[in-house]
Amino acid sequence: MTHELVTTLRPLLTAEASAEAYAAGSEPGDLEQAVWLRLLERLETTGPPHDPQGWLRKAVRAEARRSRRTTRLEQPYSAEPADDTRSDPEHLVLTAARYRALRDAVRRLPGRCPSLIEALLSPRDLTYREIAGELGISQGSLGPERSRCLGCLRRLLAPEVAAREVRG
């Protein structure tokens, strides 16, 4: 039953996701994946929908709305941290030293980590799909690899990071 449902709904989902993705600020494949996930959740809890095509159209629109809200709330990554608005010479030197320490630590990371972290820090604000294409790895392995690389980076930076200034 599930295989037949997927086979039947796939062309409609592809068309609906393609139609909604641009306005939602996302990619059609991401919308498709989210709707397939919703369908699996529904099949596990309440069973198949009575009107699969109608349910699918509503699910695509709901996911598109969620994606629009998320896109509206997200801020693009800035190369400058938010608290670096001061321009006195001492602050500029300290900020430059922090960036140098970060870049040096990134270069010392093992394996593919330096190229992955550099891609994540890129001012071009690359998507996971673009990063995966540049690095020649699957998009699904980026999250776990990123987590591993950030853990290594934290361990490298721990001795170099100064304690925060005392408040009060």
Query: Are 113 and 153 contacting, i.e. CB atoms less than 8 angstroms apart?
Result: yes
Place of tokens 């930076």: 157
Beta-strand (E) ranges in 2-81? none
For residues 132-142, give the mean pLDDT: 88
Question: What whole-number distance in Å separates Cα of residue 43 and Cα of residue 123?
Answer: 42
pLDDT at 71: 76
Cβ-based neighbours of 71, under 8 Å, separated by 6 or more: 24, 25, 26
The amino acid sitting at 133 is: G
Measured in residues, the chain has a length of: 168
For residues 111-127, give the mean pLDDT: 89
Taking the C-alpha atoms of 80, 82, 87 and 90 in order, what is their torsion angle to the nearest 10 degrees?
-80
Q: Which residue has the higher pLDDT, 23 or 75?
A: 23
pLDDT at 89: 87
Ramachandran bin of 25, using left for φ above 0, alpha for ψ from -120 to 50, beta for the remaining angles? left
For residues 143-154, give the mean pLDDT: 89
Taking each helix axis from N to C end, the angle separating 113-121 and 89-107, rounded to the nearest 10 degrees, works out to 140
Kindly report the CATH class assigned to 89-157: mainly alpha
| pTM value surpassing 0.85 | no
Q: What's the gap between Cα 73 and its chain centre? A: 14
pLDDT at 81: 55
CA distances from 145 to 80, 114, 120, 124, 158 (A): 25, 11, 12, 20, 20
Mean pLDDT of the chain: 84
Residues of the chain with CATH 1.10.10.10: 89-157
Query: Are 124 and 133 contacting, i.e. CB atoms less than 8 angstroms apart?
Result: no
Q: Tell me: the pLDDT tens digits for 47-99?
A: 889 999 999 999 999 999 988 888 777 766 655 555 556 678 888 888 888 88
Cβ-based neighbours of 22, under 8 Å, separated by 6 or more: none
For residues 145-165, give the mean pLDDT: 76
